[in-house]
Amino acid sequence: MTGTGVGEPQGFRGAQNEAAIAVPRATTNEINYADVVNMYARMLPSSLSRAVWTCAPDALPQLLQMALSVGTGGNSVFVVNATEDVPMRLFGRPLIVTEKGGTLGARGDLAFTDLGYYLVGDRQTMTADSSTDWQFGSDKTAFRIIQRVDGRPWLKSPITPQNGGNTLSPFVELKAETS
């Protein structure tokens, strides 16, 4: 998800993905309804039916307690369907809770991603070998597994729609808070 691309696949989250869009937060250290709406609006339209939400465990309480203020009132906005089995859904798309998401307030604590735009290159079939020669006296067996694989986002930059407007991408994240 966050690899640098040097000696490992390039991740699709974070600043190393030049096609990712970081949507600014409406409120510091929070995820609110406006953030989710703004992220949804920046998703590439052809990706809306395939994209998935990912969030860090720390972000889940923010999503489950989301509220919408209207003047001096307001109401809770339960955008996550908690009646279905895992994964839950946010705006109709699966919500996957992962410890690999950013901590609350960091970039990517909530992300909306179409993984169909992430390319994986598998250069050779995985090979596995074993040897009892290494540390023979200790009754130990050594294993060697080799797989040549790489990955990177398909797009090099966000897409500018024909009508102008905001750029769109299959990789949308909530921006890190700024103090």
Mean pLDDT, the chain, whole residue set: 86
* In contact, 111 and 54? CB cutoff 8 Å: yes
Looking at residue 80, its pLDDT comes to: 65
What is Dmax (Cα atoms) for the chain? 77
Looking at residue 81, its pLDDT comes to: 65
Alpha-carbon distance 24 to 176, whole Å? 8
Looking at residue 108, its pLDDT comes to: 87
Residues sharing a CB contact under 8 Å with residue 108, sequence separation 6 or more, in sequence order: 2, 13, 14, 101, 102, 173, 174
Looking at residue 117, its pLDDT comes to: 94
* In contact, 4 and 147? CB cutoff 8 Å: no
Looking at residue 23, its pLDDT comes to: 95
Structure-token pair, residue 139: 């009754």
Question: Tell me: the pLDDT tens digits for 28-73?
Answer: 888 988 999 999 999 999 999 999 999 989 898 888 888 777 777 7
Residue 78 has pLDDT above 70, yes or no: no
Higher pLDDT, 81 or 169: 169
Q: The tokens 């990706």 sit on which residue?
A: 47
Question: Tell me: the pLDDT tens digits for 131-173?
Answer: 988 888 888 899 999 888 888 889 899 999 988 889 999 999 9
Higher pLDDT, 121 or 39: 39
Question: Residues 73-77: what's their mean pLDDT?
Answer: 72
Higher pLDDT, 122 or 42: 42
Strand partners, 146: 127
Residue 179 has pLDDT above 60, yes or no: no
Looking at residue 132, its pLDDT comes to: 87
Q: The tokens 């994240």 sit on which residue?
A: 173
Structure-token pair, residue 98: 């992962």
Amino acid at 39: M
